[in-house]
Amino acid sequence: MKYGMMAFLIMATCLNMALGAEQDPKNTPKEAVQKSAEIQLPPKDSPKYWNVRSEAISELLPLLTKKRAEMKSDLQLLTEYLENNNMASDFAAGNIPVPKDPNVFFAILQIGQGLEDMNIPKPKERPSWDELMNIAMEHVIFEGYAPTTIEDDELTHYIEMCQKKEQYGQKVRQDLRGALDQCARMWVFLDSTGKLADFKAYYADLQLQQEQQIAQEKAQYTEAHRQAVMQRQAQAQQQKFEDDQARAQFYSGRQEQRVDSRQSRLNSRAANAGINVFY
């Protein structure tokens, strides 16, 4: 998926937002207006519809699972930060509700600036699963996809497979939403105590350490690969040298055998003729 659609689907998936009827057309990206006006989904009872829907959920699932893993990791970091700074009990006692300010979620998801740069609208309500799938299906049609030929007697089974993937997608979405809501509550709490900037610095340091560790591991892998290549080349050269030596010794031995054989024949002939041959 292109980044713009990915960012929008993250927003629609995670937040209390959807493609709503109260959008200001002046604030809607030109591409989104064109897509909404031009793209028509196939009839729901057609094989093409389920082909597109299957492609859509196949593209959406990696996005959902990736963001779920990220949110669970962020939730763990926030929890540990509160515990390590003796703020966990104060947070629990505060009973802070899930914030309604979308900017909190944008900050946690780190997509706020990207949405602003692309002028993506901020709808009012959280989409239903079908609304979210429709957005993804429109994107699939807009970007193009590889058609799948579905026989009539296979359509029911094909639909069932698609629906099973969607059931899993909805579970992942719920898990993601729960982790994100909890992160948002902690985020607001830290902001209210004046510790949010400290957490951001702590989080940035961790990310930098992870990036450095990844870079170091990559460098170590690259060096190990280089050393392995050099070792294989050295072994190949040594093997070639030994093969050449063995080959030379083999031909030298055969030459000596031919000389010895010729000398033996000459000696035999000389002996038979009663002639002494000196060498």
Report the pLDDT value the prediction gives residue 271, as an integer from 0 to 100: 65
Report the pLDDT value the prediction gives residue 249, as an integer from 0 to 100: 77
Report the pLDDT value the prediction gives residue 195, as an integer from 0 to 100: 94
Q: Using one digit for the tens of pLDDT, what is the confidence trace for 185-232?
A: 999 999 999 999 999 999 999 889 988 989 889 899 999 998 898 898
Report the pLDDT value the prediction gives residue 29, as an integer from 0 to 100: 47
Percent of the chain whose predicted confidence (pLDDT) is above 70: 71
Residues 212 and 187 in one domain: no
**Which H/E stretch holds residue 216?**
helix 196-273
Q: Cα separation of 194 and 188, whole Å?
A: 10
Please tell me the number of Cα atoms within 13 Å of 221 on its side-chain side: 6
Q: Using one digit for the tens of pLDDT, what is the confidence trace for 117-162?
A: 656 555 556 678 888 898 889 888 988 888 888 888 899 999 999 9
Predicted confidence (pLDDT) at residue 87 exceeds the cutoff of 90: yes
Q: Print the domain residue range for 247.
A: 197-266
Give CA separation, 150 vs 25, 38, 72, 155, in Å.
39, 26, 38, 6
Q: How confident is the model at residue 86 (pLDDT cuts 50, 70, 90)?
A: very high
Q: Cα separation of 23 and 123, whole Å?
A: 7
Residues 19 and 116 in one domain: yes
Q: Choose the final residue of a domain: 177, 194, 211.
A: 194
Residues 16 and 137 in one domain: yes
The C-alpha R_g of the chain, in whole angstroms, comes to 36
Q: Using one digit for the tens of pLDDT, what is the confidence trace for 227-258?
A: 898 898 888 888 888 888 877 777 776 666 66
Report the pLDDT value the prediction gives residue 17, as an integer from 0 to 100: 46
Residues 216 and 174 in one domain: no
Predicted confidence (pLDDT) at residue 68 exceeds the cutoff of 80: yes
Q: Cα separation of 26 and 112, whole Å?
A: 19
Q: How confident is the model at residue 26 (pLDDT cuts 50, 70, 90)?
A: very low
Residue 241 lies in a domain: yes
The total of structural domains in the chain comes to 2
Residue 84 lies in a domain: yes
Residues 105 and 160 in one domain: yes
Q: Choose the final residue of a domain: 194, 226, 251.
A: 194
Beta-carbon contacts of 112 under 8 Å, excluding residues fewer than 6 positions away, are 103, 106
Report the pLDDT value the prediction gives residue 102, as an integer from 0 to 100: 78
Residues 176 and 70 in one domain: yes
Q: Residue 194 gets which letter from DSSP?
A: T
Residues 15 and 151 in one domain: yes
Question: What DSSP string describes 137-149?
Answer: HHHHHHH------
